[in-house]
Amino acid sequence: MLALIGTVTIAAFVLLIFTKRLHVITALISIPIVAGVLAGFGPKLGNMMFDGLKTTAPTGMMIMFSVLFFCIQLDTGLFNPLIYRIVRMVKSDPLKIAVGTTVLTIVLALDGEGVTNFVIITLALLPIYRRIGMNPLVLTCLASLSNYLMNSSPWGGPTMRAMAVLQLGVEELFNPLIPVMGVGLVWLVVVAYILGMKERKRLGWTKNKDNESSVIGAAEITAALNQEAATLRPKLIGVNFALVLIVMVALVKNVMPPAILFIIAFCATLLINYRDFDQMEERIRAHAGNALWATVVVFAAGIFTGVFRGTKMIDEMALALVSLIPDALGSHMAIVSGVISYLSTLIVSPDAFYFGVLPIISTAATHFGIAPAELGRAVLLGQLGYGISPLVAAPLLLCSLTKVQFFEHQRFSFIWGLLTTVIMLVTAVITGVVPL
């Protein structure tokens, strides 16, 4: 009975999110409450929900302060010199432009905000693509894949959701993936090289043609970053870079709980760059919306998973799923889930997949000896597909800005995204991060 109620509840959740009948936050809270009452757990729901909140609180705090930290670092202009240099270097060489697109997207994607990143990328590089006649699909492909690979960072949407649902920390879920992500980033540069060489050949580019400077200047890029002169701190770039480096090393080394690390880092970046009270308050207010949004989603997910785990609905649904999976396939469930994760992005929204599907397959995988962290890593490697998903706003905006038909972007980018996912899954298996 619990398995049936759980299945109907998950189906209702996915349907209501997909059809936009409910906002994801209200769906995460209201739907499990209704399911819990129908299952006869009404008096116990309060404790279940609170238990769920307690498990996601550290993740929520980490997300909130990491978003504030990186957004304020962008305000200081920390990454501006690198952005300017990349744009100046690419000139009119299709190969340099393609590689520059990937590198620039990787740098900008540190803050986990796809919409802003795509606006900046388009403003900085699309005029160059148009001027020399490069295929804009190269831009949309490289920008989307690079952005959503970097979105596997702990403050990125999919990882944030996975940590909340699986009740895992950064050190368990994300840190083991760092070498795998490194391979993925190198591969994307290789993809950029391949596409850039194809464009060189198609356009008949020769070295003596590479003598034009970028049409985009520092002022235009600063405007795209929504920066004001008062927020820039060019004299503190060295200090800010050192702070970011220390934070990243401390995160990987698990020096302290990630939430505490980013709380301290957030405080430090404000004290270093904006000592005036009004400036501090202005920077906090400027990014509070993004930080609060991410945190509220995590807390709502805590209520969702708290009810499902407390009522044992997830366990019963997982047992039902296990009974349908052949033993020969069950041992490879992590790899299969990674590929399914990539393909599912075309038909299921991130919220529906991570909050509705992941808890079930993760619990089922434990019956085949696959730990939640192992399955979670495999699933995260498939989230590059959100770069070609019609259910995500950022890639739709990217295609609109570049005046590219979305289905053309999907057709052009699909195989490169799948290849990247497979390469990272293979790397994960070789390094023991994901079981075969």
DSSP characters over 206-260: -GGG--PPPS--HHHHHHHTT--GGG--GGGHHHHHHHHHHHHHHHHHT-S-HHH
Q: How many CA atoms lie within 13 A of 214 on its CB side?
A: 21
Instruction: Please report which residue ranges of 257-405 form alpha helices under DSSP H.
Output: 258-273, 277-310, 313-324, 327-330, 333-344, 350-351, 358-366, 372-380, 393-402
For 194: left if phi > 0, alpha if psi spans -120 to 50, otherwise beta; the answer is alpha
Q: How many whole angstroms separate alpha carbon 395 and alpha carbon 261?
A: 32
> In this structure, are residues 48 and 310 in contact, taking their beta carbons and an 8 Å threshold?
yes
Task: Give the pLDDT of residue 377.
Answer: 93
Which residue reads 């366990």 in tokens?
Answer: 315
Task: Give the pLDDT of residue 214.
Answer: 46
Residue by residue, DSSP assigns 48-86 as: HHHHHHHHHHHHHHHHHHHHHHHHHHHHTTTTHHHHHHH
Q: Work out the end-to-end distance of the chain between its first and last CA atoms, rounded to an integer number of angstroms.
A: 33
Task: Give the pLDDT of residue 221.
Answer: 61
**Structural element, H or E, at residue 204:** none
Ranges under pLDDT 50 in the chain: 213-214
Q: How many whole angstroms separate alpha carbon 357 and alpha carbon 10?
A: 8
Task: Give the pLDDT of residue 431.
Answer: 93
Residues with Cβ within 8 Å of 360's Cβ and at least 6 positions away in sequence, in order, are 10, 314, 317, 318, 321
Task: Give the pLDDT of residue 226.
Answer: 62
Which residue reads 């998973």 in tokens?
Answer: 305
